């Protein structure tokens, strides 16, 4: 009977299987819901938002927050779903069905780039003030790491947070800040002491409405048009010392951990878009004729598309392997770097090849492949350039020149 057979009496393996099946069914329903949100609330407006150079983050994030998509792997007590990181990547893949790269990127910043360190190391007070409303979609978050003279070289940032009593006084600036023009708070990396560059930094929750915070400009980019990217300056901004995430001086380490999730998230997201570009190219070249035959029927075309699809599946296998290791608590810095490196290079290769088969139409702004061609170029630059990924991989292979 139901009142006798409880989960506590089930054999452990069966209990695990039932839990897995239940989670799988629930998440399948969630993916269907997310697809519906994309189809009804986002894609019909993408062209307009691309033209305007910004999408309404507060509106869209509230829709996503109400549905539970901004805190999939975050703690339940702060409004998250409490699932492991693989479910966040499943959401990232589904977000690849958005008809541009900018909006998924901004969503990823909110859910898996600006908030992991806060969720893992932040105080209960900080989580209630910043994490919980971010998961709910009530606050828009941004990540302040890159600067004019310090992009992939995070250790070289110059922004300072000098302690004055129970406050920090922050001076400096941040560049390439996704959602920076409409964010409510920033996860800021700043130098909080004069020590070694890997041990003198802290992550700080910085409200964007404080006196001295200036959004200098919204940067005009060649791609990711619908995502606002800002340059932000700090002129003697005062923030309570209690706004430090975790331990003072551990910010560089925390940010490196955040980068693991950010890079895996980016790979998962771009996989879906790459598949979409291949499928749309197949559809277009099947009906477009040249010299009396569909473009697709020329061997150089269908062979090339087969090669690209093979590369996509190989990248997916690498992502899944890295994710499986990560959720078991392993350091996957090397594999995450490999996956991001491959994703960036493959996206450029795939975008160029597929655009070529669209002919003149590929050179217009009317088709998905041309938008992908522009948007995907960032994959080899943002969150660590290809060359930095190669250096990280070489470090783990012990092949870097010795000093």
Cβ neighbours of residue 174 under 8 Å, at least 6 residues apart? Answer: 144, 145, 146, 147, 159, 180, 186, 188, 231, 232, 234
- Decide if 113 contacts 39 (C-beta within 8 A): no
Sign of CA dihedral 127, 133, 139, 142: positive
CB 368 within 8 A of CB 276: yes
Helix, strand, coil share of the chain (percent; to 5): 55, 15, 30
C-beta separation of 245 from 121 below 8 A? yes
Q: Which residue has the tokens 């940067």?
A: 219
Residues 6 or more apart in contact with residue 35 via CB below 8 angstroms: 94, 97
* C-alpha distances in Å from residue 214, one per residue of 53, 147, 174: 19, 15, 10
| 311 given a catalytic annotation | no
CA angle, 209 then 210 then 216, to 5°: 70
Q: Which of 94, 147, 262, 275 is catalytic?
A: 262
Burial of 274 (0-12, 13-18, 19+ CB in 10 A): buried
Please, are residues 154 and 255 in contact by the beta-carbon 8 Å criterion?
yes
> Could you give the residue numbers annotated as active site?
262
């Amino acid at each position: 009977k139901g009142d006798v057979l409880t989960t506590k009496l089930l054999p452990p393996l069966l209990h695990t299987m039932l839990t897995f099946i239940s989670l799988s069914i629930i998440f399948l329903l969630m993916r269907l819901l997310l697809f519906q949100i994309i189809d009804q609330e986002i894609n019909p407006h993408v062209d307009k938002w691309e033209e305007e150079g910004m999408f309404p983050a507060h509106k869209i994030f509230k829709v996503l927050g109400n549905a539970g998509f901004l805190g999939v792997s975050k703690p339940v007590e702060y409004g998250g779903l409490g699932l492991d990181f693989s479910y966040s990547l499943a959401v990232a893949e589904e977000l690849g069905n958005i008809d541009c790269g900018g909006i998924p990127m901004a969503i990823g910043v909110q859910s898996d780039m600006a908030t992991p360190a806060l969720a893992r190391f932040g105080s209960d007070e900080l989580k209630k003030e910043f994490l919980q409303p971010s998961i709910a979609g009530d606050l828009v978050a941004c990540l302040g790491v890159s600067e004019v003279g310090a992009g992939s070289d995070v250790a070289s940032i110059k922004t300072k947070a000098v302690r004055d009593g129970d406050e920090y006084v922050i001076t400096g600036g941040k560049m390439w800040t996704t959602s920076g023009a409409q964010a409510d708070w920033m996860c800021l990396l700043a130098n909080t002491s004069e020590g070694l560059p890997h041990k003198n930094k802290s992550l700080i929750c910085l409200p964007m409405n404080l006196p001295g915070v200036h959004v200098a400009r919204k940067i005009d980019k060649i791609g990711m048009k619908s995502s606002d990217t800002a340059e932000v300056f700090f002129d003697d901004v005062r923030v309570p010392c209690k706004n430090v995430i975790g331990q003072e001086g551990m910010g560089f380490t925390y940010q490196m951990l955040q980068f693991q999730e950010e890079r895996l998230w980016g790979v998962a997201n771009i996989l879906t878009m790459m598949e979409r570009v291949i499928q749309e190219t197949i559809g277009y070249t099947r009906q477009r004729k040249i010299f009396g035959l569909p473009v697709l029927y020329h061997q150089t075309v269908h062979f090339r598309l087969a090669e690209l699809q093979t590369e996509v599946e190989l990248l997916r296998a690498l992502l899944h392997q890295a994710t499986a290791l990560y959720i078991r608590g392993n350091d996957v810095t090397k594999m995450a770097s490999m996956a991001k490196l491959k994703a960036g290079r493959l996206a450029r290769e795939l975008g160029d090849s597929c655009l070529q088969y669209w002919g003149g139409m590929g050179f217009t702004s009317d088709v998905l492949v041309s938008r992908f061609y522009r948007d995907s170029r960032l994959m080899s630059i943002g969150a660590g350039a290809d060359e930095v990924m190669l250096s990280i991989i070489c470090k783990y292979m012990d092949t870097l020149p010795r000093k």
